[in-house]
Amino acid sequence: MSRPLVSAIVPTFRRPALLERSLASVLDQTWRPLELVVVDDGSGDNTPTVLEAFTARARERDVSYRWLTVANGGPGKARNAGMDAAQGAMFAFLDDDDAWRPEKLARQVPALLQGESGVCFSRYSHAGDDRPKPPESALHEGWVFDALCSGATRAHLQTLLVRREVIERSGGFAPLFNFEDSEFCLRASLDFPFVCVREALTVIHGAPTSVSRDAGLEGDLKRDALKLSVLEDFGRKFAMHPRFNAASIRQFRARIYDEHIKHLLWLGRARAAAAALRRAKEECGEQEALQRLGRKIFKARLLGWLGLRLSKP
């Protein structure tokens, strides 16, 4: 059997100083044949100069390399543009502030080829912390839609290796600036089983300018609203899919409401948090994720009378 070409897709936006680490980790992969496609998401800075400098290095490492610039539209659109330009039978995704361990693709490709799975995920670690994440208990395989919704399984985007057939059947990434990774995994999990390699093969660095960290708690509130809206739309769109489970989507939305209410409490907005809890119970029913929030709101109100707020852990 011939070895499949893997295309590494790296979107980037205004972080040229970080590209050395992420792109070098792709060139250091032990798997060949390998293609690297970098998509400059309309940075408008010296990113093209940095990307052009990798041309010779990629050639020396026997890696097919191309980069392109698109109008700024978020990481989902950028990844889709990269996949459109790529030639691989499998796609792997890496953000410009993270890195892969050299054996990542070499460990995942055989796992994906062994069965009918469409997506392979692995564990990861954070920079400066060698402990693999998530725990073994969160590494379910097979048809994982329900487990993804409940949080029993976590498939981090930077760890994914995906067959081209998944993109052709389930679609690429939604044009969102946040949560596009989770929405993609949910969609793919309706159509394809997942398989896991239990090693930590990706290192998450989490630069201070990451989209997921933008604007502090106020930004978190906006992201919460986006996630709830995306999941509501997802439920309507896929309600008739044979593997869709409405109860699982309600459970996922309850988990988002849990985070949303905590964000409100940390901002000192106990009244808004109480209203959000009522809304969550109306929309999601009695869920485990919501059970302790009433006591937190009561405590926040007591602290509010003293001019204090709940502290963020």
Phi-psi label, residue 268: left if phi above 0, alpha if psi -120 to 50, beta otherwise: left
Q: Is 103 helix (H, G, I), strand (E, B) or coil?
A: coil
Q: Locate the DSSP E strands across 4-160.
A: 6-12, 34-40, 64-69, 90-93, 99-100, 119-126, 129-133
| Orientation angle between helical segments 270-284 and 246-266, nearest 10 degrees | 180
Q: Residues near 232 by Cβ (< 8 Å), separated by ≥ 6?
A: 253
Q: Which residue has the tokens 């969160």?
A: 138
Listed residue (21, 38, 47) closest to 75, CA to CA: 38
What predicted TM-score, i.e. pTM, was given to this entire model?
0.93
What CA–CA distance (Å, rounded) separates 56 from 45? 21
User: What pLDDT score was predicted for residue 313?
Assistant: 66
User: What pLDDT score was predicted for residue 40?
Assistant: 98
Domains along the chain? 6-204 (3.90.550.10), 215-305 (no CATH)
What CA–CA distance (Å, rounded) separates 20 from 34? 18
What CA–CA distance (Å, rounded) separates 105 from 162? 11
User: What pLDDT score was predicted for residue 2?
Assistant: 80
User: What pLDDT score was predicted for residue 53?
Assistant: 94
pLDDT in tens, the chain (313 residues): 689 999 999 999 999 999 999 999 999 999 999 999 999 999 999 999 999 999 999 999 999 999 999 999 999 999 999 999 999 999 999 999 999 999 999 999 999 999 899 999 999 999 988 899 999 998 999 999 999 999 999 999 999 999 999 999 999 999 998 999 999 999 999 999 999 999 999 999 975 555 555 579 999 999 999 999 999 999 999 999 999 999 999 999 999 999 999 999 999 999 999 999 999 999 999 999 999 999 999 999 999 888 888 887 6
